[in-house]
Structure 1
Amino acid sequence: MADDAPTLPPDTFATRLATLRARIDAACVRHGRNPADVALLPVSKTFGPDLIREATRLGLKRFGENKVQEIRDKAEPLADCGIDWVVIGHLQTNKARDVARLAAEVQSLDRLELAQALDRRLQQEGRALDVLLQVKTSDEETKSGLAPADAPALLRELARLDTLRVRGLMTLAVNSDDEAAVRTCFASLRTLRDQLRQDAPAGITLDRLSMGMSGDFELAIAEGSTEVRIGSALFGARSYA
């Protein structure tokens, strides 16, 4: 590198983003994948509008949030940024109205009741949403998601709802230091996706696999993830005060 090459100050959002993208690219190369095939979804939960605005200046336009309330709080002060809000947390049916009005995508669709509630509200709004089915691939009670065996039936029902565009699957891996156990969760989602594709209803492509977070995204890339959801490794440590 030339002596006069520009360098970024340590521990800024820009440097963390550059470091993260380099890690994503390196993981792709290690596993014979094209870095262009793995997207980054910044997870902005608990972080305020100022930091999100800074992120948009660096080209980020999609942000994941666990709670619909946070999307409501942030959407207005950031209305000029052209943000696509993505719901990644467990979603109650009574939040369907706000989701239909504010969100661009839901990655945590896990039951027909929720799909029908979203469909009703989306029809009223004259909108449609991209959705991913959240599948439970671990035995942890704290994890939400659809049982893998129930996915084919839900896909058939979703094919009847014009307002919901099914794009793929999402999962949360087991919280463990055992890399083999974590990879098994990701591999099982990929296998399920391949099985579902064989009999998927018309219009449902299942191209996307949203899996991998700050602590395990490199393992997820090894198992075929097309989008990693990154919060603390990008925004820094969270404060839940």
Structure 2
Amino acid sequence: MGHIVENLDRVRQKIREAALRGGRAPEEVQLLAVTKTVPVETIQQVVDAGQFRLGENRVQELLSKYPHVQGPVRWHIIGTLQTNKVKYIYDKVELIHSLDRLSLAEAIHKHAGLLQRPIDCLVEVNVSGEESKHGVPKQELVPFLRSLSSLDGVHIRGLMTMAPFVDNSEEIRWVFRELRQLSLEVRELNLARVEMQHLSMGMTNDYEVAVEEGATIVRVGSGLFGERR
């Protein structure tokens, strides 16, 4: 257990230092431990060390772990979400990071009716323009947000992006900076049920730069648990 707790402490310290470099309070940044392929026993170690926000890429994997991880855990779904899978997770997650199309928003809205409250979501934006990345093209973000206006079961809490994988994270600083600028532009529009509370950006290889540029949620997996097998 020791090395995972050490990793957790190290990541938290790096987040703190990056926030301070960016002129921000470290408390503004949430660490999301990405548990893809990580066994329950290992996940439990970080939970026992006080890391309660956990992120899963796949619905099936989240469902297999959900009953077994003990503690005040708040699960997030961060991977591409199929509309027919919403019914399995709508009542189990604190935040959906990957809203990227109207059909998915409509499915979330439908299930929010069962909860009798809106479901919190982030809109995934393809800032880099890479064809391999999911997300709403940045030039279509505002029209997409406007298309959600009749869906009172969907509460937009901010934006998410995935930057290209590079060796030098300075090369993708512009991606994080651009997402933050988009969030500022959206905030000025005062759209109903649209808040720019969160910027989910930055992973193990680039989260420090992301925090410097305004991330409020960073998604760290291998930096905590080691490389995936």
Shift of 1:178: 4.5
What CA RMSD, in Å, does the superposition of the two structures yield over aligned residues? 1.7
- Number of corresponding residues: 229
Which whole-Å CA distance do the structure 2 matches of 1:213 and 1:42 have between them? 10
State yes or no: 1:131 paired with 2:121. yes
SS at 1:135 equivalent? strand
Query: Which residue number corresponds to residue 191 of structure 1?
Result: 181
Query: Which residue number corresponds to residue 22 of structure 2?
Result: 31
Query: Which residue number corresponds to residue 163 of structure 2?
Result: 173
SS at 2:227 equivalent? coil
TM-score by length of 2: 0.93
Identity across matched positions, percent? 38
Does the aligned pair in 1 maintain the 2:109–2:151 contact within 8 Å? yes
| Cα shift readout 1:31-74 (whole Å, capped 9, x = no counterpart) | 22211111111111111111122221112221110000011101
Shift of 1:145: 0.5
Does the aligned pair in 1 maintain the 2:152–2:193 contact within 8 Å? no
State yes or no: 1:229 paired with 2:219. yes
Name structure 2 gaps, 5 residues minimum: none
Does the aligned pair in 2 maintain the 1:211–1:217 contact within 8 Å? yes
Query: Which residue number corresponds to residue 141 of structure 2?
Result: 151
Query: Which residue number corresponds to residue 3 of structure 1?
Result: none
Shift of 1:111: 0.8
Q: Name the one with the larger strand percent.
A: 2
Which whole-Å CA distance do the structure 2 matches of 1:154 and 1:174 have between them? 23
Amino acid at match of 1:20: V
Does the aligned pair in 1 maintain the 2:170–2:209 contact within 8 Å? no
SS at 1:12 equivalent? helix
Query: Which residue number corresponds to residue 164 of structure 1?
Result: 154
TM-score by length of 1: 0.89
Spell out the pairing of 1:194-213 with structure 2 (5 A cutoff): 194-213=184-203
Which whole-Å CA distance do the structure 2 matches of 1:224 and 1:104 have between them? 21
2:73 aligned to which of 83, 86, 96: 83
